[in-house]
């Protein structure tokens, strides 16, 4: 499941691979993803140049010229592949192939079809509803203890559910929230408004550390994730709680537990997270 570090890894590789290229042709499978791909998608992309590529939350954002924003969200099982010489064939789960004028191509595959492909003809990301509703990026300068304290103090929700709320903090998913709470020694079911200043500071540090390390490792791969060049990530060796139910904690004599919050699993150590 691609979260911020996986999407950042892909964005960095695509920046080298397709910046400056012009879209020549667009193939679409016609199957709906999270939402149906708009009928105008191919037409808007064609003949536009990829001016910049960046990441916002879990979105890949392609800034086009003439102005338009092309978005890819990978959902649960979305993957992108860069093919230097249009050898991309349509597989069972290929939903789009964007071919560039130099013959290279970008393929989007997504077995579960929870992802998103969209394009918006606007001048600024403010006009892109998928992006303007996103909260603060946890790697941005403004993500600090003062800001997070303001957010946490105003709600009685579980800290786990708040950290997953993309309208508050954009980019965290289940893996890195579980890991960050472990490093900050905070139980996932703790109420936001009852966290101490010290715990909030610890949480901010933990989120930054966990994300930066995962980016250095090129993301976490269980089965699905590879970057656009097919390389898997290496961050799984750094995981302390995620998917480790029943195994020994690496920090105390306890055993990792799992708890269900909403419809998501939270992994934590009852011995060192309170």
Partner DNA sequence: GCATTACCCTGAAAGC
Partner DNA sequence: TGCTTTCAGGGTAATG
Show which residues are catalytic.
2-3, 58, 264
Name the strands in the sheet holding 94-100, side by side, starting at the edge strand that comes first in the sequence. 23-28, 94-100, 105-109, 79-83
Closest approach of DNA to the CB of residue 212, in Å: 19
> Which residue, 158 or 199, is less far from DNA as judged by CB?
158
The residue within the footprint of DNA, chosen from 8, 158, 179, 199 (CB under 7 A), is 158
208 is an interface residue for DNA by CB under 7 A: no
The residue within the footprint of DNA, chosen from 40, 154, 196, 198 (CB under 7 A), is 154
The residue within the footprint of DNA, chosen from 5, 138, 173, 219 (CB under 7 A), is 173
Alpha carbon distance 270, 274 (integer Å): 7
Q: Which 3 state secondary structure label does DSSP give 9? A: helix
79 is an interface residue for DNA by CB under 7 A: no
233 is an interface residue for DNA by CB under 7 A: no
46 is an interface residue for DNA by CB under 7 A: no
155 is an interface residue for DNA by CB under 7 A: yes
85 is an interface residue for DNA by CB under 7 A: no
Helices then strands, each counted (H, E), the chain: 7, 10
SS3 content of the chain, % helix, strand, coil (to 5): 30, 25, 45
161 is an interface residue for DNA by CB under 7 A: yes
In sequence order, the 6+-apart residues with CB closer than 8 A to the CB of 181 are: 159, 160, 163, 187, 188, 203, 206, 268, 273
Binding segment toward DNA, per CB under 7 A, in 11-19, 38-46, 118-126, 159-167: 159-167
> Which residue, 112 or 216, is less far from DNA as judged by CB?
112
Torsion of CA 204, 154, 258, 34, to 10 degrees: -90
Binding segment toward DNA, per CB under 7 A, in 72-80, 119-127, 141-149, 231-239: 72-80
- In angstroms and rounded to an integer, the radius of gyration of the C-alpha atoms of the chain is 20
Q: Is 208 exposed, middle or buried (0-12, 13-18, 19+ CB in 10 A)?
A: middle
Alpha carbon distance 225, 128 (integer Å): 27
190 is an interface residue for DNA by CB under 7 A: no
199 is an interface residue for DNA by CB under 7 A: no
113 is an interface residue for DNA by CB under 7 A: yes
Contact in structure between 188 and 268 (CB atoms under 8 Å) = yes
194 is an interface residue for DNA by CB under 7 A: no
Closest approach of DNA to the CB of residue 172, in Å: 8
118 is an interface residue for DNA by CB under 7 A: no
Tell me which H or E stretch contains 131.
helix 129-132
- Name the residues that contact DNA, by CB under 7 A: 1, 3, 32, 34, 57-58, 73, 75-77, 92-93, 111-114, 130, 133, 154-158, 161, 164, 166, 173-175, 223, 262-265
């Amino acid at each position: 499941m691609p979260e911020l570090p996986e999407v950042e890894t892909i964005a960095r590789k695509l920046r080298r691979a397709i910046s400056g290229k012009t879209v020549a042709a667009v193939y679409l499978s016609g199957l709906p993803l999270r939402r149906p791909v708009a009928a105008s998608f191919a037409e808007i992309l064609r003949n536009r140049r990829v001016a910049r590529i960046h990441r916002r939350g879990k979105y890949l954002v392609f800034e086009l010229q003439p102005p338009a924003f092309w978005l890819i969200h990978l959902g649960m099982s979305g993957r992108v592949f860069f093919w230097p010489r249009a050898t991309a064939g349509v597989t069972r789960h290929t939903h789009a192939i964007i071919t560039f004028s130099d013959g290279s191509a970008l393929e989007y595959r997504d077995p579960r079809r929870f992802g998103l492909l969209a394009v918006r003809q606007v001048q600024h990301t403010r006009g892109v509803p998928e992006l303007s509703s996103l909260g603060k990026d946890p790697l941005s300068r403004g993500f600090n203890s003062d800001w997070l304290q303001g957010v946490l103090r105003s709600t009685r929700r579980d800290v786990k559910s708040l950290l997953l709320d993309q309208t508050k903090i954009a980019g965290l998913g289940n893996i890195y929230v579980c890991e960050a709470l472990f490093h900050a020694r905070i139980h996932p079911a703790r109420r936001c408004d009852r966290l101490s200043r010290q715990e909030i500071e610890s949480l901010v540090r933990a989120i930054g550390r966990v994300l930066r390390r995962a980016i250095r490792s090129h993301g976490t791969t269980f089965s699905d994730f590879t970057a656009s060049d097919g390389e898997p990530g290496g961050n799984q060796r750094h995981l302390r709680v995620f998917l480790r139910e029943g195994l020994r904690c690496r920090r105390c004599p306890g055993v990792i537990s799992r708890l269900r919050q909403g419809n998501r699993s939270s992994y934590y150590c009852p011995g060192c997270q309170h």
